[in-house]
Structure 1
Amino acid sequence: MDERILIWGAGAIGGTVGAFLRRAGLDVTFVDVVPEHVAAMRDPVRGLRITGPVAEFTVTAPAFTPDEVRGTWDKVFLCVKAHHTADAARALAPHLSEGGYALSLQNGLCERVIAEVVGAPRVIGAFVNFGADYMGPGEIALGNRAAVVLGEMDGRITPRLTALHGTMRIFEPDAIVTEDINAYLWGKLGYGSLLFAQALGMAGIADCLARPELDTRFRRLGEEAMTVAAAEGVTPRGFNGFDPDAFRPGAPMEATRRSLAAMSEFNRGSAKTHSGVWRDLAVRKRRTEVDAQMAVVPQVGAGHGIPCPGFDRLVALIHEVEEGRRPLHDDNLLELIP
């Protein structure tokens, strides 16, 4: 395979990763649905600017809207919001070479959705936890470095995975490969439930995780995710303070509190203070990924006869905010246990 890379979705994740690879001299092309963002990235004067404590630089690159892009690529990095995955996969499919792969740099269980469109052998999974925000056309703020994990969906360590690992280390030197990417994807679902909960209020991630009155509510969300994961035959892996063992049924509450404290400390060191979900609700005033990410847990749980009332309540509260029926307020989190 050659070194040409197509980034499909140049927002917080795709724009950040693509900019680092472009700066390193790789042949990166961007696709995004926002015409103003596309115009900025290919403008030789304006370009795509990365800001924040991790790095400050600007790159220019070929950039197109989905209807403009032409050609095929061996490597397509899919970086759209989870609820846009199916549409994006169908749009990118004609641009994915027969022997190429699509890498899912997304939150949620998006790999299975992509596989339904392009075929499972043409999908590589990934878990990312760095904090970045799309600030506007041509600008992305990178708040911190965090875990990046890559894995084939069948667990093999393949030549293409090894080569991809080398490429992704340009962005994150501590990126790793795994034989069990699902362990990280399910771990992120557990952790992600806490970020969706934070989005219901105004306090930032670190302060939210440090609220002792929310410990039992966070424990319930994490426990539901870990229980469903176990039913799926998955043993979630930890990262950046999140300890799956601390949220499994029967775990001491003190272990849960230690993990919450570790996550709070990790996030306190980031310039990204609030979750992307919170920005969707409070700043961008748009629909979140709650159905494509959080609602999946009770859906999978139902197949095993496992109720998830905490996740159901979280999804319902997020929808109330999306629909303007509930204002953002820190007290919303007290309603997580129905």
Structure 2
Amino acid sequence: MARYIIYGAGAIGSILGAGLYRTGQDVVLVGRGRHVEAIRRDGLQLRAQGQLRQIKINAVDDLAKLKPKVEDRLVLTVKAQHTADAARTLVSAYLPTTPIVALQNAIRNEEILANRFQCVYGGLVEFSGNFLEPGLVEHTRNNLVAIGKFPQGFDSVADALAADLEKAGFQVERSENVMDIKWWKLVLNTNNALLALLGCWLQKGQSDPEIYSLMADVMEESLGVLRRAGIHPQAPAEFPPLDLAIQKLRAGETSCDYDLPPEERTYPSTWQDLQLKRGSTEVEFLNGEIERLGKEHGVLTPLNSLLLRLVSAMALNRELPGKYSPQEIKSLFEEAKL
């Protein structure tokens, strides 16, 4: 039986690991010191669907505390800005033939891993979680995961992982072209920066006309760059294509009940990084990816470039999310387009 090493077990990694563990899989979470300390003392506290579960799962704060096994499967859930360091750490302990899957935002993680590992798999995470405090995470919405071999294809290792995730209660999409699905997610993620600047959670953003119009503008710019670059993002089976998603967002058709308790709101990872004053975010690998592609293909990206600059400065200065109002961002967008 495979042993799953969840490397970078914050909210998403802990939710994945807990699901696998509860079905009888051998799982080890590798995470930050205080989170691991709380898990080892009290178990992982997982809040989902109105219930709080205590899960006595194995956790370590240092990969050196584990003895590698031939049957290990590496699951990378760190933020994109930490992928290169994680790859160096993992390859120092594991053979290059060890299977590794990148269940992360952004689309360069697999490329980085492929420089050190021979069996790399791409993964889409289309569910949300909040890190409430060390030892306590919440699964707030959705449960979709997509899996495929990098750069293309699907094999028995991917199928075994997909089957294990399905047993754990996740909806799994098996894909021969998983990177096309990850490009789809990248366009959605370009709004992470916007919501962080506004101090806003997803449900409110999708329901407030002042905000969802800005979100639609950002997605439209991002999709235009991908099309000029010849990239064809593919939505998972149950989601609309991006052009229709933008149309629905702009028309207010994604509105929902957003008056939720704070712990049930879906905050993007960029918001969480600013809130925790971590000093860095994934913005360089999200909006920065669009900016780089735009420069390469002669497309201006004023909105993504502005979001990249503003969030990078806030992270560097350890500023909290919510620095800007929708009206201020709208004015800055209009200036950036001139």
Tell me the TM-score range normalised by the shorter chain: 0.7 to 0.9
Q: Structure 2 CA distance, aligned partners of 1:67 and 1:173?
A: 27
Matched, 1:18 2:17: yes
Report the CA distance between 1:314 and its aligned residue.
Answer: 0.8
Matched, 1:47 2:33: no
From 54, 60, 63, the equivalent of 2:59 is 63
Structure 1 consecutive aligned stretches of length 4 or more whose deviation exceeds 6 Å: 266-270
Distance 1:324 1:76, change over 3 A: closer
Report the CA distance between 1:241 and its aligned residue.
Answer: 5.7
TM norm structure 2: 0.86
Q: Structure 2 CA distance, aligned partners of 1:55 and 1:99?
A: 40
Matching residue of 1:193: 190
Q: Structure 1 CA distance, aligned partners of 2:235 and 2:271?
A: 23
Matching residue of 1:92: 90
Matching residue of 2:180: 183
**5+ residue gaps, structure 2:** none
Q: CA deviation digits over 1:266-291, x for unaligned, max 9?
A: 98899233222212223445422111
- Matched residue SS, 1:315: helix
Matching residue of 2:29: 30
Matching residue of 1:6: 5
Residue range with higher mean Cα deviation, 185-194 or 303-312? 303-312
Report the CA distance between 1:38 and its aligned residue.
Answer: 1.8
Q: Structure 2 CA distance, aligned partners of 1:325 and 1:40?
A: 27
**5+ residue gaps, structure 1:** 248-252
Report the CA distance between 1:104 and its aligned residue.
Answer: 0.5
Given that 1:7 and 1:18 are in contact with CA atoms closer than 8 Å, whether structure 2 keeps it comes out as yes
Matching residue of 2:151: 154
From 220, 239, 243, the equivalent of 1:245 is 243
Matching residue of 1:320: 313
Given that 1:198 and 1:333 are in contact with CA atoms closer than 8 Å, whether structure 2 keeps it comes out as no
Report the CA distance between 1:51 and its aligned residue.
Answer: 1.1
Distance 1:98 1:192, change over 3 A: closer
Amino acid at match of 1:174: Q
Distance 1:55 1:300, change over 3 A: farther
Matched, 1:105 2:103: yes
Q: Structure 2 CA distance, aligned partners of 1:143 and 1:178?
A: 25
Distance 1:117 1:294, change over 3 A: farther
Matched, 1:132 2:129: yes
Q: CA deviation digits over 1:136-156, x for unaligned, max 9?
A: 221111112232111112322
Report the CA distance between 1:30 and its aligned residue.
Answer: 1.6
Q: Structure 2 CA distance, aligned partners of 1:129 and 1:39?
A: 28
Q: Structure 1 CA distance, aligned partners of 2:58 and 2:318?
A: 38
Amino acid at match of 1:38: V
- Matched residue SS, 1:132: strand
Q: Structure 2 CA distance, aligned partners of 1:336 and 1:295?
A: 17
Q: Structure 2 CA distance, aligned partners of 1:3 and 1:55?
A: 29
- Matched residue SS, 1:7: strand
Residue range with higher mean Cα deviation, 57-66 or 78-87? 57-66
- Matched residue SS, 2:143: coil
From 268, 283, 293, the equivalent of 1:300 is 293
Given that 1:55 and 1:142 are in contact with CA atoms closer than 8 Å, whether structure 2 keeps it comes out as no
Q: Structure 2 CA distance, aligned partners of 1:29 and 1:210?
A: 39
- Matched residue SS, 2:266: coil
Matching residue of 1:274: 267
Q: CA deviation digits over 1:48-98, x for unaligned, max 9?
A: 111132653222233222353333243100011111110011101133344
Distance 1:135 1:162, change over 3 A: same
- Matched residue SS, 2:46: strand
- Matched residue SS, 1:30: strand
Q: Structure 1 CA distance, aligned partners of 2:209 and 2:35?
A: 41
- Matched residue SS, 1:22: helix
Report the CA distance between 1:172 and its aligned residue.
Answer: 3.8
Q: Structure 1 CA distance, aligned partners of 2:229 and 2:169?
A: 30
Given that 1:132 and 1:272 are in contact with CA atoms closer than 8 Å, whether structure 2 keeps it comes out as no
Given that 2:207 and 2:258 are in contact with CA atoms closer than 8 Å, whether structure 1 keeps it comes out as no
Amino acid at match of 2:48: G
Report the CA distance between 1:10 and its aligned residue.
Answer: 1.0
Distance 1:52 1:177, change over 3 A: same
From 195, 220, 223, the equivalent of 2:220 is 223
Q: CA deviation digits over 1:234-276, x for unaligned, max 9?
A: 32123576641237xxxxx855524x633x4498899233222
What CA RMSD, in Å, does the superposition of the two structures yield over aligned residues?
2.7
